[in-house]
Structure 1
């Protein structure tokens, strides 16, 4: 039943009114299917980095204890068995992954099987290299008169917020969302990078980081170009960062460019990153839940909506259970997302991954992962525009109508949607730009009428 709001403005006002036996596998050789798909796609040419040359990032969201790490390792083993060069990235001190892989995971890449490597990201280690590059750049430019060179990185601790910042840098080196060309050094080139994060909320911040940073960049540019302090300090800081990037082996985005061109290049860089999270050929995100636990199911639904709000897309949902019927009961809540179940693992004995992967009870889960890798994934459009009716439909699963707020700060040119501790700016087509005239919440979507 739909609830509606007919007030002429919704500016800052909440919307309110109302054990399964092992059987012989019937899976066809996935590596052959993927190889065929790769061969077909590689025959087409494109400018920049083609989708087939690009590394795909896959991550999992869900309530703590729902099985995110289990699902991540299941996916890593699946892609490795299919012949794809796969890297599992762990970003916590939890040793569950070590046990499930029977492999000691450290802060350097370690081989855990054919086509499969793993690494544990540690911020205390990640901050050392960029600091060293900055110190080397400062030594060449002499901007701080040696003050920067006196910093001992090994004695620095990790402050709140550093984990996310250095995570973004490390993942960018692996997946290259900001790059326009393929790296010359293919030594650490992976087909698939699977990220098992500290928490789902931290992962959501990572997904939305580049799109949200564009507005901050806009205000920083105004500060740099329109104030005496900015005009004095900005060129030197940009030069220091550019020199450090060159030392680290990264491509220079600033060399030989004017100040305005530098800011434009930075904005294009962030736009490229945010677009990657909406591209199923570059990014996949799966919900994970325990179908027998209502709080786990509700959390997965919530993270679905939060992912949309952050600027990403959800590719599917997994239920970790041995009770197939329990997943069938919740499938309708996640429709039209494709969903499958992964059989629960026994922790009392070493994990036989080849047996688990080839077990037909996990066939649907592997097919779901394969459909993403072969770029046939279908996702729900987060925004739809109806120019004739001057209607905007916002897909917002997992939210109640009372939890959504709408704002308009730039006339009628855009909508600002706030929900799930996320803000999302939606530019409106010229044909329907105007003030909000009303809204109603129906079928997990917010329908906004413009005047």
Structure 2
């Protein structure tokens, strides 16, 4: 089972240095490690070698790869064309070539997540370390399975129940016309099959995100009050996408530096701000990532017996949290993140009877 590890918080060199040091540490322990980053100069300068869009071994048990969005888009486009050919008699995209596609905003996140998924599924690595942007963009990347899952299940059912959906899937007059365009007889079952496959794919991603054995993040900060405030904000935002935070890495030259009060109950590990190339001091100060990840507070807990949902939202106060229930699910807003909570059958459809914000937890009763 592969552990996917990422770091949030302090931008620039500090966070990337910690990602590289973590990769070196885990590789030295005999784990097969893939270190993935974006095509930015810092990543390659710190490693002291050129990074390619395909994994390259730079030390025993350690490979590095660059998530170049244009290359990933080109490769995925070929898969899109193959999928289209399965359903359309005359494919539309066959004359559009991946080499001419331009990466649009947001595509890079989805492409990076899919690349991580593929490397994870390959079974070649024990640990994948993703050196992303370390901000809200990284959180949205890891939150994509849950976000897309909500859109899929909500809009799929709306379409099936609509007059247009019923006409397409049931009308005997429309079926012959559809048959001239599609390679399949487009019934309700045919419509459900591809969406069910996509939903199963997204459910696997959600399950991985909910398991700290599979995906975890660590916060990186300095003692600067602004860095601390931003890192606490990211901590709470990470809980909104369901990402487990295993601990805090405090970069400081002061041996007695302490931020335990600001990040309770997370463990805080102090690491030195070492010069570029001096890896051993940094490596020796790093925590046991897998062990700390398992002890992380759960982002969400659902207690069916007491009819309660508990969300851990550190870094936010009561005024920054908004709770609504318009549809069959409960929506929680905190900061710039919105989460739709899919309730178990015993709670689904029940109205909220009460809510309180206590010790960093939003406690919702039904």
| TM-score band w.r.t. shorter chain | 0.7 to 0.9
Matched pairs, number: 352
**1:298 maps to 2:254:** no
Answer yes or no: is the 8 Å Cα contact 1:390–1:432 preserved in 2. no
Q: 1:337 to 1:137 in 2, by over 3 A?
A: closer
> 90, 101, 109: which one pairs with 2:47?
101
- Within 2, Cα distance between the matches of 1:210 and 1:298? 28
Q: Which residue of 2 aligns with 1:18?
A: none
**1:208 maps to 2:208:** no
CA offsets, 1:281-306, max 9 Å, x none? 1111111111x211111111111111
- Three-state SS of the structure 2 residue aligned to 1:163 is helix
CA offsets, 1:133-177, max 9 Å, x none? 4445667876345x523223323221112111211221111113x
Report the Cα offset of residue 398 of structure 1.
0.6
> 278, 285, 308: which one pairs with 2:217?
285
- Three-state SS of the structure 2 residue aligned to 1:333 is coil
Q: 1:430 to 1:342 in 2, by over 3 A?
A: same
- Within 2, Cα distance between the matches of 1:156 and 1:425? 33
Unaligned runs of 5+ in 1: 1-53, 177-182, 241-256
- Within 2, Cα distance between the matches of 1:88 and 1:382? 26
> 21, 31, 48: which one pairs with 1:84?
31
Mean Cα displacement is larger for which, 265-274 or 201-210? 265-274
Q: Which residue of 1 aligns with 2:19?
A: 72
> 268, 289, 296: which one pairs with 1:339?
268
Answer yes or no: is the 8 Å Cα contact 1:66–1:320 preserved in 2. no
Unaligned runs of 5+ in 2: 170-174
- Within 2, Cα distance between the matches of 1:345 and 1:230? 64
Report the Cα offset of residue 278 of structure 1.
1.2
**1:430 maps to 2:340:** no
Q: 1:197 to 1:239 in 2, by over 3 A?
A: farther
CA offsets, 1:344-365, max 9 Å, x none? 1213xxx1434643x4xx1xx2
- Within 2, Cα distance between the matches of 1:295 and 1:405? 25
- Three-state SS of the structure 2 residue aligned to 1:190 is coil
Answer yes or no: is the 8 Å Cα contact 1:66–1:296 preserved in 2. no
Report the Cα offset of residue 190 of structure 1.
0.9
- Within 1, Cα distance between the matches of 2:349 and 2:335? 25
Q: Which residue of 1 aligns with 2:105?
A: 160
- Within 2, Cα distance between the matches of 1:389 and 1:140? 48
Answer yes or no: is the 8 Å Cα contact 1:309–1:420 preserved in 2. no
CA RMSD of aligned residues (A): 3.2
- Within 2, Cα distance between the matches of 1:164 and 1:275? 19
> TM-score, normalising length from structure 1?
0.69
Q: Which residue of 1 aligns with 2:94?
A: 149
- Three-state SS of the structure 2 residue aligned to 1:430 is coil
Q: Which residue of 2 aligns with 1:24?
A: none
